[in-house]
Amino acid sequence: MSSTALAAIWRVPRRNAAEDEGRVRATIADRAYDDLKLMAMTFRFPPGERINEVTLSERLGISRTPLRVALNRLATEGYLTSLPQKGFYARTLSAEDIQQMFELRSVLEQGEA
């Protein structure tokens, strides 16, 4: 089956000129994902802390729908924890997680020498 036929079946939107040139526009959820991922990776969310969606959406200047899309994606990737009927939480770190981070850091620092 040709790609044109598949596009018709799945109603795949055609790419615009900017995308063809490699300048894909990020959605609001994509931008929120990038911001939140950085916040999670730099421990701006203390481990175990509940993520307040209302406060976070106001802080990022976006509605809660794209925020939830980003939060769900981060939970799927292990950066956050999602508890049904309770919300999202910053991932906690076990003693083993911390030990692995120190071991990785040691290996990386030895590689720089």
pLDDT digits (tens, 9 = 90+) for 52-85: 999 999 999 999 999 999 999 999 999 999 999 9
- Residue 32: the pLDDT is 93
- Residue 111: the pLDDT is 79
Mean pLDDT of the residues in the chain? 80
Q: Which helix (H) or strand (E) holds 56?
A: helix 53-60
CA atoms within 13 A on the CB side of 60: 25
Contact present, 79 and 37 (Cβ < 8 Å): yes
Q: Which two three-digit tokens encode residue 93?
A: 């770190």
